[in-house]
Structure 1
Amino acid sequence: MRYVFALLMLAACTPAPVYRDPTVTISSQALFDPARYAGLWHEVARFPNAFERDCVTATAEYGLRADGLLSVLNICRSADGTEISRINGNAEITGPGRLVVRFDSVPFVAADYWVLWVDEGYRTAVVGSPNGKTGWILNRDPEIPPDRLRAAREVLEFNGYDLSQLQEVSP
């Protein structure tokens, strides 16, 4: 167990790549409704990150809590659909479309998680971080229509992300 902990600590010290030009202003969704955002989202594209290295597909599920926070459950699956990992946490809403996410198994670490765009029907969302180390395109269904994928990619590009690094996820 101590070897696993040592590897995790070493990985935490390795600088993560940055996929966003920090000179570009990033903005979150001004009209963000947490109740409509709650529910299951399928990851359809992402920028590479260490915690999803072996994931072929992933889902994120959000729920409204009585204390004003959102519950968070992320599940990562292998190519055969087997669950590789599951992580629970919560998200504090710090502004319109701006969340600070904390996971139960990673104490003392919080991550800025900004909803950069969500379509009018809350079917597709683009999520990023001001530091540019993470970014995702999420959809309510595993497959995303081409027009919404195109719109989501445009939002990432507008917010300074390098789309050449974006990886689409197969359903």
Structure 2
Amino acid sequence: MFSKFLTGALAGFSLLAAAQSASAMSLRPVPRLELSQMMGRWYEVARTPNALQRNCQAGASEWTPAQGGFAVVQSCRKGAANGPLAQWKAKATVADPSSNARFKMVFFGGMVSQDYVVLEHKDEQGWLILATANGKYLWLMSQRPTLASAVRAQAIQRIRQLGFDPARLEFPPAS
């Protein structure tokens, strides 16, 4: 089962890497991000569909400081919010020290890498918008398993303002 997941994960990340070489959107990161604000558990509220997270529910990312950057453990439950746990680990490094809002993540021991951009961060409300640097994939993440409906609506509006189509978003169930 794990080898089937790993094969699917590698295929999904290969697609992400290939898409990155396509014409990229002009994504502007937040002006400045305090790295300490990225640490801890982030819950996935919404995402654009992607092969790696097909049938994923209750998605989350755990960010911890590590030598030379951060360790990121991404997880979800396959098929249902209480389904089997799937995890993949990444090492993240800051790609733009002037803003701290661009990251390079390396997965599967360096076999796959992907660039990410923090497009919005509302620390006081506990949410952020993260996208691949090419703009193909986007995630709305929260420091709580769910967002209040008014806050969620504000975040979705911001996604629209950034040039993304909210109709493409998936809202997987939280844990």
Where on the TM-score scale, by shorter chain, does this alignment land: which range?
0.7 to 0.9
In the TM superposition, 1:30-109 aligns within 5 A as 30-65=31-66, 67-78=67-78, 79-95=80-96, 96-105=100-109, 107-109=110-112
Output the CA distance in 1 between the equivalents of 2:82 and 2:7. 29
Q: Is the 8 A contact 2:24 2:135 kept in 1?
A: no
Return the TM-score normalized by structure 1.
0.81
Output the CA distance in 2 between the equivalents of 1:2 and 1:33. 37
Q: Shift of residue 108 of structure 1?
A: 3.2
Q: Secondary structure at the match of 2:26?
A: coil
Structure 2 counterpart of 1:135, which letter? Answer: L
Q: Secondary structure at the match of 1:160?
A: coil
Q: Per residue, is there more helix in 1 or in 2?
A: 2
Provide runs of 4+ in structure 1 moved above 3 Å. 1-16, 22-25
Q: Secondary structure at the match of 1:155?
A: helix
Q: Secondary structure at the match of 1:142?
A: coil
Q: Is the 8 A contact 1:25 1:159 kept in 2?
A: no
Question: Structure 2 regions of 5+ residues with no counterpart?
Answer: none
* Change beyond 3 A, Cα 1:83–1:30: farther
Corresponding residue for 2:164? Answer: 161
* Change beyond 3 A, Cα 1:25–1:54: same
In the TM superposition, 1:110-121 aligns within 5 A as 110-121=113-124
* Change beyond 3 A, Cα 1:29–1:84: same
Q: Is the 8 A contact 2:27 2:117 kept in 1?
A: no
Return the TM-score normalized by structure 2.
0.80
Task: Count how many residue pairs are aligned between Structure 1 and Structure 2.
Answer: 166
Output the CA distance in 1 between the equivalents of 2:164 and 2:12. 23
Equivalent pairs: percent with the same residue?
21
Deviates more, 1:45-54 or 1:6-15: 6-15
Q: Is the 8 A contact 1:126 1:137 kept in 2?
A: yes
